[in-house]
């Protein structure tokens, strides 16, 4: 590389990178570090008092927080695995279906993506009324089909609440991976596929051997975004189950726990900023390592292919 | 099984089933918004044969939906512009230049994805107050931009990385500056990435009500979702009005999407570079 | 020459006006005060009241802003901690915002500034005091009372002649209602706080009401007390009278079952009456205090101050804000509070016309006992409520036992409440 080009690149790096970094540092990094620093102080309500060392962490790892923490962590992990498995594979299936189908494609493209643009509040209210155990049409349909024992209180039973939330999440988001994958599929050089067809490869072989590997960058994006989304899952559980993760904490998540510890809740009173921030440190470390490790792994795989 | 996998009918039916699952709940919402609240409570899924438009009149007369809508548009549009411009630049540098510290900076930006603004609200509020950016649309735009940028840069740098390096060298030999290379040669090729960034960032911003509730106090600056939160409390028991409000809130984005979807999907899928 | 003279005069006049103007504008211009609340459902009520206030106090305008109730604590805490926020704030009672009082965010109120405070009983005043300094930071505006609401028409159809006095009679009444094809109670399990209120209604007679409250607060008794465990069991026992799939029925649907005359009883607070009537204006609602555990026990009506009005310590409009607080303490405002939204006002000499509210208030003054969790144990985290709300949801489906839940509450409270430290 010529030194003139290098100089120009250095200049370009500065002008293009610094504004973005500045915005992130000022409006994300600084407030985030401040929040994390709260974990090492004891608090009187919203007033910082003395330095507390690791006391808040000790409390976080004792009753009742420890039980809540392990339950929440379990729910986040289940959400990640299930959403990753179903949302991503359905998304891929829908994308491939749209790739193959010619008739009605324009309509399908619009419909598949439609729930993604709906406001979460709208989606939550909508499904809450659909799933209402008393008035809700879904249970009436199930009863009408002659299997009343399957008409469950979906969002109220501790065993079905979390799966139901994940279903609503998938209903709302599946269009996103679908469109990302469709873009990836359309970007594949048609000549590769033609050549494979001429060589006598079946459609499933073409999909597995040619298309899927070339979708790797899209898959990386989706995986990382799903990972972060799942471990910071907040809005849907909050709107539907409230800050305590109703029923009986069955839909509790790490972010919900952080929120109610930091601000208290309307119905149960006082907060504890110190323990809340200790939890924040924990979430941050956990998700940070996970995302960094995962994306490094996925990027390496991409390069190898 | 393999035959089934190959058949178009199979895929057609998958898409049809999916369309039903997507559209039925939405139809229920629309239908319920046209029924009287008490009637809805009695027979939740009867058809609205005789549409009860008063629900919509009620919603419309209640808040200043017009002004809310414009504010949401300004805030979402402003954030989106900033996000795209900044993410293009940073994504280009991080995706195509190899320099010392590239990986460190990339990792640092990734950590920004891990902090939802909601969790740092207290220091953020104090900081905005100090910067004189409270109760200001610009303040909110900057917070949203900062929150969405890491993911946007992550996505964009991936797209820039996937473009062949020959493109750069050819452009440079033709005498293009680095900015020209980016704006004239590469930007058209990463349009799908920009489309992904645009939707992925715009939807949460448009639909957010928490940050506006905390940061914007003047009624004339209220956003659509912020306005709706009051409305929901006020009409908690009047299902019809509530559903009408939900429909009206969802409508602008749906209409915008229906109008733009053709272009949007074309931009997303057609302009893509050959893999 | 003439013209320039006139011009000069005009300029001088203009200058004079601008010099005088600042003083003049303070005297005549509008003082605007901001007023935040979590009662989005009462927006229309408050706005009409503010117009009345403005008519009586020319020169002051009030901007009333209600916020989403689930986000209200976070919004207020953030704004006040950063030294911003409104002039007048609707304050959550007891531990709900005591941490903000203790941090000096609210202006202490004196009886000289707010004479209405003099007329309030001690227990009500406590609802708006700091936890540490016990200063008065707010003017409590309403009290709530817990009891059993019933639908007289359904009871008549079911042949329930006399109102149940004991727990056993209540269950017999439930049986009759069920046989007649109605739901015994609308209460359900989808909402933890609603279950906590259910317990606060039926529980005191089992644990011994105010005496137990005082003992627990003093550290003489613990939550593992036999009576308290029995009160938890009473909630579990009610589950079998709840509607099918009760664990998934949310708060609005549950209340809707009573309001739409499908359920004969609803156990809870007087503040539900407004909601019931908004759903079904033609409903008749009767009220009686929770029945006694057995023939030898006493009946109680759980009660507490349900919110207050406070002034931001950093307000620049202290005089106007005080005027507003004093307006909110008037008999007229209290009258409107009961007439329009069926709240029981703290303001004395208010005439309660509503028969249901009148009945509730009569019983409240004779059988009142503090809402144990709200009045006593919401000041630090983990609060007793934060354990009980999810705990009751588990209890009613058999996911935990009354003994275990009582132990959990005790461990949580003992972790921060000095008189209970080290006790189990």
Decide: pTM greater than 0.90: no
- Calculate the average pLDDT of chain B: 84
Over 70: is that where the pLDDT of A236 sits?
yes
Q: Does the distance separating the beta carbons of B115 and A284 come in below 8 Å? A: yes
Contact C105, C312 (CB under 8 A): yes
> Does pLDDT of A304 surpass 60?
no
Question: Domain of A117: which CATH number?
Answer: 1.10.3720.10
Structural contact between residues A243 and A260, judged by C-beta atoms closer than 8 angstroms: yes
CA distance A167 to A138: 14
Report the distance separating Cα C67 and Cα C78, nearest Å: 14
Task: Give the lowest-confidence range in B7-16, B60-69, C78-87.
Answer: B60-69
Give the number of domains in chain A.
1
Number of A–C residue contacts, CB under 8 Å: 165
Report DSSP state, residue C208. Answer: T
Q: Answer yes or no: is the ipTM higher than 0.90.
A: no
What is the per-residue pLDDT for C394? 94
At residue C16 the predicted structure's pLDDT band, cuts being 50, 70 and 90, is very low
Residue A212's domain spans which residues? 63-121+153-304
Q: Which domains are seen in chain B, by residue range?
A: 66-269 (1.10.3720.10)
Q: Give residue for tokens 């609707």.
A: C90
Alpha-carbon distance B198 to nearest alpha carbon in chain A (angstroms): 12
Residues in B closer than 8 angstroms to C39, CB to CB, are: 233
Q: Which residues contact B21 (CB under 8 A, 6 or more apart)?
A: A171
Average pLDDT over residues A225-233: 89
Q: Counting beta carbons within 10 angstroms of the beta carbon of residue C203, is it exposed (0 to 12), middle (13 to 18) or buried (19 or more)? A: buried
Name the residue among A44, A65, A42, A64 with its Cα closest to residue A55: A42
Which residues numbered 77-116 in B keep a CB inside 8 Å of some CB on A? 82, 86-87, 89-90, 92-94, 97, 99, 105, 107, 109-116
* Cβ–Cβ under 8 Å, residues C62 and C343: no
- Would you say residue A133 lies in a domain? no
Per-residue tokens: C67 = 């916020």
Closest CA to A227 of A149, A294, A169, A279: A294
**Residues of B whose CB is below 8 A from A179:** 196, 199, 265, 268
Q: Cβ separation of A156 and C94 shorter than 8 Å?
A: no
d(CA A279, CA A232): 12
* Nearest C-alpha in C relative to A45: C99
pLDDT for residue C228? 97
C109 to A217, C82, C115, C317: CA distances (angstroms): 63, 22, 10, 15
Q: How confident is the model at residue A180 (pLDDT cuts 50, 70, 90)?
A: confident
Strand C368-370, strand C301-305: pairing: parallel
A133/C389 touch (CB, cutoff 8 Å), yes or no = no
CB of B155 within 8 Å of a chain A CB? The answer is yes
Spell out which chain C residues touch chain B, with contact meaning CB-CB distance below 8 angstroms.
34, 39-41, 43-44, 63, 65-69, 71, 74-75, 77-79, 81-84, 252, 256, 259-260, 275, 278-280
For every residue of A245-284, DSSP letters joined together read TSSTTTT--HHHHHHHHHH-BTTTB---HHHHHHHHHHHH
CB A146 within 8 A of CB A87: no
> What distance in Å separates the CA atoms of residue B193 and residue B198, rounded to the nearest whole number?
8
Name which of A112, A118, A127 is nearest B250 (Cβ-Cβ). A118
Q: Do C73 and A266 touch (CB under 8 A)?
A: yes
Residues of A within 8 A of C404 (CB-CB) are none
Q: Is residue A168 part of a domain?
A: yes
Q: Convert the pLDDT of each residue in C295-326 to its tens digit.
A: 899 999 999 998 999 999 999 999 999 999 99
Interchain proximity A260–C386, CB inside 8 Å: yes
Distance CA B65, CA B73 (A): 12
B100 burial via Cβ count (<10 Å: 0-12, 13-18, 19+): exposed
User: pLDDT (tens digit, 9 = 90+) per residue, A132-158?
Assistant: 888 788 888 898 898 888 888 899 888
Please state at what angle helix B191-207 crosses helix B137-161, rounded to 10 degrees.
Answer: 150
Give DSSP secondary structure letters for C42-87: GHHHHHHHHHHHHHHSTTEEEEEEE--HHHHHHHHHHHHHTT---S
What separation in angstroms does the CA of A33 have from each of B108, B123, B154, B194? 13, 9, 21, 30
The pLDDT of residue B4: 54
- A245 part of a folded domain: yes
Tokens standing for residue A75 = 């729910």
Q: What is C145-301+376-420's CATH number?
A: 3.40.190.10
Comparing CA positions, the residue from B84, B195, B261, B189 lying closest to residue A187 is B189
Range(s) of chain C covered by CATH 3.40.190.10: 31-141+307-329, 145-301+376-420
Query: Residue B69 and residue B3: Cα distance in Å, rounded?
Result: 50
Q: Which fold has domain C31-141+307-329?
A: D-Maltodextrin-Binding Protein; domain 2 (3.40.190)
Whether B45 contacts chain A with CB within 8 A: yes
What is the sign of the dihedral through the CA atoms of A145, A148, A150 and A153?
positive
Q: Which two tokens stand for residue B30?
A: 């629309």
Predicted pLDDT at B272 = 44
Q: Are C373 and C213 in contact (CB under 8 A)?
A: no
- Packing angle, helices B191-207 and B65-96, rounded to 10: 140
Residue A55 at interface with chain C, using a CB cutoff of 8 Å: no
pLDDT, tens digit, for every residue of C362-377?
A: 999 999 999 999 999 9
Q: Which of B122, B126, B230 sits opposite C66 (nearest CB)?
A: B230
Q: Within a domain: residue A6?
A: no
Touching partners of B (3+ C-beta pairs < 8 Å): A, C
In a domain, A262, yes or no: yes
Q: What is the pLDDT of residue C13?
A: 43
A42: number of Cβ within 10 Å:
17
Residue C243: its pLDDT value, please? 93
Query: Residue B50: what pLDDT?
Result: 84
Nearest to C81 among B122, B210, B217 (CB): B122
CA distances from A29 to A232, A284, A289, B35, B102 (A): 17, 12, 17, 49, 18
Closest chain B residue to the Cα of A260, Cα to Cα? B119
Per residue in A89-104, pLDDT (tens digit) is: 999 999 999 988 888 8
Please enumerate in sequence order all residues whose Cβ is within 8 A of that of B244, keeping only pairs 6 or more positions apart, or say none. Answer: B33, B34, B55, B56, B58, B59
- pLDDT by residue (tens digit) across B168-217? 888 888 888 888 889 888 988 888 788 888 888 988 898 888 899 889 98
A113–B257 CB contact, under 8 Å? yes
- Contacts of residue B110 in chain A, CB cutoff 8 Å? 288, 291-292, 295
- Bond prior to B100 in cis (omega within 30° of 0): no
Q: Which residues pair with C344 in a beta bridge?
A: C143
Of A157, A239, B81, the C-alpha closest to C398 is A157
Which pLDDT value is given to residue B232?
76
Q: Are A272 and A57 in contact (CB under 8 A)?
A: no
Q: Percentage of residues in chain A with pLDDT exceeding 90?
A: 39
Closest CA to C265 of C291, C236, C228: C291
């Amino acid at each position: 590389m010529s030194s003139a080009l290098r100089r120009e690149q250095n200049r370009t790096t500065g002008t293009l990178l610094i504004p973005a970094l500045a915005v992130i540092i000022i409006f994300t990094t600084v407030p985030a570090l401040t929040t994390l620093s709260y974990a090492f102080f004891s608090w009187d309500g919203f007033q910082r008092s003395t330095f507390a060392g690791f006391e808040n962490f000790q409390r976080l790892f004792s009753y009742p927080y420890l039980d809540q923490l392990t339950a929440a962590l379990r729910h986040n992990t289940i959400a990640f695995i299930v959403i990753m498995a179903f949302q991503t594979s359905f998304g891929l299936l829908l994308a491939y279906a749209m790739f193959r189908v010619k008739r009605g494609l324009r309509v399908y493209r619009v419909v598949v993506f439609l729930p993604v643009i709906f406001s979460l509040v709208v989606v939550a209210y909508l499904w809450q009324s659909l799933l209402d155990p008393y008035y809700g049409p879904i249970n009436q349909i199930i009863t009408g089909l002659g299997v009343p024992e399957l008409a469950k209180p979906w969002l109220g039973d501790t065993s079905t609440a979390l799966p139901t939330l994940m279903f609503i999440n998938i209903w709302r988001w599946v269009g996103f991976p679908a469109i990302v994958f469709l873009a990836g599929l359309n970007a594949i050089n048609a000549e590769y596929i033609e050549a494979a067809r001429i060589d006598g490869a079946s459609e499933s072989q073409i999909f597995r051997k040619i298309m899927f590997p070339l979708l790797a960058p899209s898959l990386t994006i989706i995986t990382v975004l799903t990972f972060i989304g799942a471990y910071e899952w907040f809005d849907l559980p909050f709107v539907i189950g409230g800050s305590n993760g109703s029923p009986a904490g069955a839909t509790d998540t790490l972010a919900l726990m952080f929120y109610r510890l930091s601000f208290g809740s309307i119905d149960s009173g006082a907060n504890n900023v110190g323990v809340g921030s200790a939890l924040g440190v924990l979430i941050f470390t956990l998700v940070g390592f996970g995302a960094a490790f995962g994306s490094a792994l996925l990027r390496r795989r991409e390069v190898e292919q | 099984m393999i035959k089934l996998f190959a058949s178009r009918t199979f895929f057609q039916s998958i898409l049809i089933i999916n369309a039903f699952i997507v559209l039925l709940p939405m139809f229920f919402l629309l239908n319920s918004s046209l029924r009287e609240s008490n009637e809805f409570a009695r027979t939740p899924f009867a058809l609205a044969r005789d549409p009860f438009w008063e629900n919509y009149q009620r919603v419309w007369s209640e808040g200043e939906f017009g002004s809310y809508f414009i504010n949401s548009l300004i805030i979402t549009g402003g954030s989106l512009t900033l996000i795209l411009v900044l993410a293009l630049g940073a994504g280009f540098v991080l995706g195509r230049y190899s320099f010392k510290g590239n990986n460190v900076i990339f990792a640092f930006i990734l950590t920004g994805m891990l902090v939802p603004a909601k969790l740092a609200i207290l220091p953020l509020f104090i900081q905005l107050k100090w910067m004189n950016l409270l109760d200001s649309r610009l303040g909110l735009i900057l917070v949203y931009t900062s929150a969405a940028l890491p993911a946007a840069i992550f996505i964009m740098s991936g797209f820039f990385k996937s473009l062949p390096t020959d493109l750069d060298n050819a452009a440079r030999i033709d005498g293009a500056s680095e900015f020209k290379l980016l704006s004239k040669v590469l930007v058209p090729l990463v349009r799908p990435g920009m489309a992904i960034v645009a939707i992925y960032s715009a939807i949460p911003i448009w639909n957010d009500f928490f940050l506006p509730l905390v940061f914007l106090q003047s009624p004339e600056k209220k956003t659509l979702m912020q306005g709706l939160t009051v409305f929901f409390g006020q009409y908690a028991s009047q299902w019809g009005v509530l559903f009408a409000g939900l429909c009206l809130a969802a409508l602008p984005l749906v209409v915008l999407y229906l109008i733009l979807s053709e272009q949007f999907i074309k931009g997303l899928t057609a302009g893509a570079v050959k893999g | 020459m003439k013209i320039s003279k006139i011009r000069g005069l005009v300029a001088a006049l203009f200058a004079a006006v601008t010099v005088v103007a600042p003083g003049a504008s303070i005297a005549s211009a509008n003082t605007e005060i901001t007023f935040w609340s979590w009662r989005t459902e009462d927006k229309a009520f408050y706005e009409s009241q503010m117009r009345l206030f403005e008519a009586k106090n020319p020169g002051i305008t009030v901007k009333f802003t209600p916020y989403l109730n689930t986000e209200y604590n976070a919004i207020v805490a953030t704004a006040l901690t950063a030294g911003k926020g409104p002039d007048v704030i609707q304050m959550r009672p007891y531990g709900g915002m005591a941490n903000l009082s203790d941090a000096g965010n609210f202006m202490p109120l004196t009886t000289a500034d707010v004479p209405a405070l003099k007329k309030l009983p001690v227990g009500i005043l406590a609802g708006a005091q700091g936890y540490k300094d016990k200063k008065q930071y707010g003017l409590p505006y309403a009290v709530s009372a817990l009891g059993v609401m019933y639908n007289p028409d359904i009871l008549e159809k079911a042949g329930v002649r006399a109102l149940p006095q004991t727990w056993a009679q209540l269950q017999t009444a439930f049986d009759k209602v069920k046989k007649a094809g109605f739901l015994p109670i609308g209460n359900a399990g989808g909402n933890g706080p609603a279950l906590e209120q259910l317990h606060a209604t039926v529980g005191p007679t089992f644990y011994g009401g105010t005496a137990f409250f005082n003992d627990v607060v003093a550290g003489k008794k613990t939550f593992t007390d036999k009576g308290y465990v029995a009160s938890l069991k009473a909630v579990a026992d009610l589950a079998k009278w709840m509607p099918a799939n009760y664990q998934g029925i949310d708060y609005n649907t549950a209340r809707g079952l009573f309001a739409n005359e499908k359920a004969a009883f609803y156990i809870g607070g007087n503040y539900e009456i407004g909601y019931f009537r908004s759903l079904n204006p033609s409903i008749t609602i009767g009220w009686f205090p929770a029945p006694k555990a057995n023939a030898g026990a006493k009946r109680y009506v759980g009660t507490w101050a349900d919110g207050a009005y406070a002034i931001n310590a950093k307000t620049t409009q202290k005089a106007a804000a005080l005027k507003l607080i004093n307006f909110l303490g008037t008999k007229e405002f209290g009258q409107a509070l009961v007439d329009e939204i069926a709240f029981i006002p703290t303001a004395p000499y208010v005439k309660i016309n509503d028969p249901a509210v009148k009945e509730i208030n009569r019983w409240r003054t004779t059988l009142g006992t503090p809402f144990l969790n709200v009045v006593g144990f919401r000041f630090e985290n983990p609060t007793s409520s934060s354990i009980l709300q999810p705990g009751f949801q588990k209890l009613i489906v058999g996911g935990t036992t009354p003994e275990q839940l009582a132990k959990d509450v005790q461990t949580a409270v003992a972790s921060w409440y000095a008189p209970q430290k080290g006790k189990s």
